[in-house]
Amino acid sequence: MNEENKDLYYLEELPDFKVAKENPDVRGWNVLDKDERKVGTVDSLLVSKSAKRVVYLDVLVNESVIAAGHEVYGAQVAGVHEFLNKAGEDHLILPIGMVTIDEAYKIIRSKKITHDTFASTKRFSKGIAINRDYELSVHGTFVPGFPEKTIPEAKNFYDREEFLAY
């Protein structure tokens, strides 16, 4: 990705950005699916510099998600098999507006996403720069009917409800 087009940064990369005083720092908190099953832990927060706020949780998924998601991706052709996720890809992004934050129990709860959906979501390796293609791929999995033809560079991309909560 061209560095000048980059908009998403890990909070740790932005020395001038911090979690707002009125919001909890949820790094290290468990993430539960809509059925209260643990799917991982918040490893980092992803900030949109243009929106000037956290728009994603970077979730380190647990082994149950990895095991459930280790299925062949797409049709098999002449003995060639492709997996959706490769070894070491154990992180995924979760839009901040698709969760509730339970400060009392220090838990993140998914509003609608099931364990199976988490397992079938494309993952990435820790520290990788997140590009818009990956974002759109995740949204296609998490948001049924998400318009794949969304203008990728639209300035109001993060004004949708799945990004408005933190």
Count of CB atoms situated within 10 Å of the CB of 151 = 10
For residue 67, what is the domain's CATH number? Answer: 3.90.50.10
Q: How far is CA 103 from CA 3, 34, 64, 119, in A?
A: 35, 17, 25, 26
- Judged against a pLDDT cut of 80, whether residue 124 lies above it is answered with yes
| CB contact at 8 A, 77 and 108 | no
Q: What is the pLDDT of residues 8-28, one digit of tens each?
A: 999 999 999 999 899 999 999
Domain that holds residue 80: 3-163
Structural domains in the chain (count): 1
Q: What is the pLDDT of residues 29-66, one digit of tens each?
A: 999 999 999 999 999 999 999 899 999 999 999 998 98
pTM for this prediction: 0.84
Strands 30-32 and 107-110: parallel
Q: What is the pLDDT of residues 59-100, one digit of tens each?
A: 999 998 988 865 544 444 444 434 456 667 899 999 999 999
DSSP for residue 47: E
* Mean pLDDT, range 144-159, rounded to an integer: 68
pLDDT of residue 76: 46
